[in-house]
Amino acid sequence: MKHVRLTTAQALVRYLAAQRIRERGGELPLFAGVFAIFGHGNVAGIGEALQDLRDELPTWRAHNEQAMAHAAIAFAKATRRRRMLACTTSIGPGATNMVTAAALAHVNRLPVLLLPGETFANREPDPVLQQVEQFGDPTITANDCFRPVSRFWDRISRPGQLLASLPQALSVLTDPADCGPVTLALPQDVQAQAHDWPVAFFEPHIHERVRPAPDARQLRHAVELINAARKPLVIAGGGVLYSEACDALAAFARARGIPVGETQAGKGALPWNHPCNVGAIGVTGTGAANALAAEADLIIAIGTRLADFTTGSGQLLPRAGCKLLSLNVCRHDLVKRGAAPLQADALRALEELDAALGAPRTRGSWLADAQARIEEWNAARDAAVAVRGAGLPSDAEVLDVANRVAGERGTVVCAAGGLPGELHKLWRASGPGSYHVEYGYSCMGYEIAGGLGVKMAQPDRDVIVLVGDGSYLMMNSEIATSIALGQKLTIVVLDNRGFGCINRLQDACGGDSFNNLLDDAAPRIDFVAHARALGAHADKAGDLAALETLLARALRADRTAVVVIDTDPVHSTAVGGAWWNVPVAEVSASTRVRAAHADYRRHLDES
């Protein structure tokens, strides 16, 4: 067997560069590149290796470790988990800055390879700069923080361990059921150590999509449930998009006369005006989808983890008298809420279900009733986004302007706060790839970094980031990165002077406005000047008409452009939506809180 002498870091980088993915258009590198912020713990090891192989595996410098990991995660989501990025950091704070992003990837079942630097495996210089010492266990480092938020975690304490660990890591990153973040902690002395590696380890490896077939017994039971149902309703989750099953779902729903509701992750699987699409489901759902869920006798959940926003905290679905069929490739998600399981790839399962069900079935007036409800909802939606003409514009009014300007080529990116709820109900997605909202972890600060990742994955689309002033102030540094990389974003900053969404929740729970909105003593942030200082074009819109003009101009700009508009922190749309379980204080001196608790108890008693 032939061997080649390389450092551990050189071997790691060469292995990553050898991974390929087979797509319809041919083979592509599985890893499109590496985001890196160098420091002690990675610059002399993996940094040297990346520089040597930079033509095969591009390296990009970011400004914040959490942000670069967010960008990598958004890239993976936008490529339907087919391609991915790696992220490397120094030890200590550089590493732990990525923990939040790892949690986000874990919740959303998205692949990202995290390569944090570490202290010394030989412990000779301990404690080193930035080392977190655990007094009772010297084997614990800051990178142990990644254990609960990684699907696969390993510490490479000897060079040869990569031979076993890297194939395991890749199997997780490319597995449709176990997909999620992988962390390989890299002690800085081990990164630089040389080892004799089998040449065969670095031969190109071609990954192909795995599509698990449904079990015959589960398929038969699913067919029986669907045939017996008079009022079935499909819930389309992110798994529909990751499986590239959108066309199959559209054909299946039309042939079977089944309306389709959408989760946040599944929105865009069908275009908003598809005859079977009844819009968002759950806490931030449309009146149409939620009304149909309340009447359905069978819910067919496809590729969704059935989180509380989708199920209305378990009150909306499944209800008594309604059965639940879960079509999911992931065992953990498959068995939630007492569902009948159909474990399989979404595309393959839909194709086999369609064949097993036989001739199309219209189900009488069920789909016609669904279409009548969505027409009612569309009228309610148009009223909700209509210009009120008084005071500052609402989030709904702003997103409607952005929706119109975005057109067919636009992709909206958002996360956390009140905007995702309004977008889920009100944004009209043109189809797959047009809607990218991170709401599994609801992570403030994802928006701009996520927009960068989406643009890198979908360079032919206009990426429009909607972000509140609170999230903007949490993480805006990747505006500069987007300009440095030539990845043009269009960013709309909605300035409501604080955390308006949580202020509204505080009010709904009987509380007075406290510690959420900025008072007059807080500075007025000049977001236009700030964005310009980062290198972006920037303007402020005085009203909705100006917003439309400036947003259209921003889309034509030669680099990242920011449009700022002041918005109402109080107003939100009242239409649509289901109950969300947020416990209210059982004892309080406030009459408003006591009343809110009584209303909370009423909802619990109805469940």
Q: Are residues 36 and 182 in the same domain?
A: yes
Q: What is the mean pLDDT of residues 206-214?
A: 94
At 605 the pLDDT is 82
Portion of the chain with pLDDT greater than 70, in percent:
100
Q: Are residues 48 and 142 in the same domain?
A: yes
In this structure, the dihedral spanned by the alpha carbons of residues 375, 571, 562 and 463, taken in order and rounded to 10 degrees, is: -30
Q: Are residues 135 and 18 in the same domain?
A: yes
At 498 the pLDDT is 83
Secondary structure of residue 85 in the 3-state scheme: strand
Residue 156 maps to a domain: yes
Contact 47, 38 (CB under 8 A): yes
Whole-angstrom distance, CA of residue 182 vs CA of residue 173: 7
Whole-angstrom distance, CA of residue 83 vs CA of residue 31: 6
Q: Are residues 177 and 221 in the same domain?
A: no
Whole-angstrom distance, CA of residue 259 vs CA of residue 371: 8
Residue 593 maps to a domain: no
Residue 577 maps to a domain: no
Whole-angstrom distance, CA of residue 581 vs CA of residue 600: 8
Structural domain of 490: 388-566
Provide the pLDDT confidence category of residue 362 given band limits of 50, 70 and 90.
confident
At 521 the pLDDT is 79
Q: What rounded mean pLDDT belongs to the chain?
A: 95
Residue 463 maps to a domain: yes
DSSP 131: -
In degrees and rounded to multiples of 5, residue 55 shows phi and psi of -75, -25
Whole-angstrom distance, CA of residue 253 vs CA of residue 420: 26
Residue 267 maps to a domain: yes
Query: What residues have CB less than 8 Å from 553, skipping those under 6 apart?
Result: 539, 561
Q: Are residues 202 and 312 in the same domain?
A: no
Residue 352: what residue type?
Answer: E
- 488: CATH: 3.40.50.970
Read off the tokens for 549: 């003009």
**Chain centroid to CA 406:** 20
At 267 the pLDDT is 98
Q: Are residues 134 and 109 in the same domain?
A: yes
Provide the pLDDT confidence category of residue 368 given band limits of 50, 70 and 90.
very high
Residue 383 maps to a domain: no
Q: Are residues 196 and 278 in the same domain?
A: no
Q: Are residues 112 and 86 in the same domain?
A: yes
The span from the first CA to the last CA of the chain, in angstroms, equals: 66
Q: Are residues 371 and 498 in the same domain?
A: no
Read off the tokens for 206: 């071609």
pLDDT in tens, 285-323: 999 999 999 999 999 999 999 999 999 998 898 888 899
pLDDT in tens, 242-283: 999 999 999 999 999 999 999 999 999 999 999 999 999 999
At 528 the pLDDT is 98
At 511 the pLDDT is 85
Whole-angstrom distance, CA of residue 559 vs CA of residue 486: 7
In degrees and rounded to multiples of 5, residue 265 shows phi and psi of -70, -25
CA torsion sign, 302 to 304 to 306 to 310? Answer: negative
pLDDT in tens, 426-467: 999 999 999 999 999 999 999 999 999 999 999 999 999 999
At 593 the pLDDT is 87
pLDDT in tens, 32-83: 999 999 999 999 999 999 999 999 999 999 999 999 999 999 999 999 999 9
Residue 548's nearest CA partner among 377, 361, 405, 386 is 405
For tokens 């302007």, the residue is 401
- Among 346, 375, 404, where does a domain finish? 375
Pairing of strands 194-198, 3-7: antiparallel
- 313: CATH: 3.40.50.1220
Portion of the chain with pLDDT greater than 90, in percent:
86
- Among 179, 207, 235, where does a domain finish? 207
Q: Are residues 552 and 473 in the same domain?
A: yes
- Among 172, 207, 242, where does a domain finish? 207
pLDDT in tens, 511-544: 888 888 888 778 899 999 999 999 999 999 999 9
Contact 432, 268 (CB under 8 A): yes
Q: Are residues 229 and 251 in the same domain?
A: yes
Whole-angstrom distance, CA of residue 145 vs CA of residue 19: 28
Beta strands in 331-485 (DSSP E): 340-343, 410-415, 435-438, 462-468
Q: Are residues 347 and 433 in the same domain?
A: no
At 137 the pLDDT is 95
Residue 380 maps to a domain: no
Residue 605 maps to a domain: no
Please count the structural domains in the chain.
Answer: 3
Provide the pLDDT confidence category of residue 576 given band limits of 50, 70 and 90.
confident
pLDDT in tens, 459-501: 999 999 999 999 999 999 999 999 999 999 999 999 998 887 8
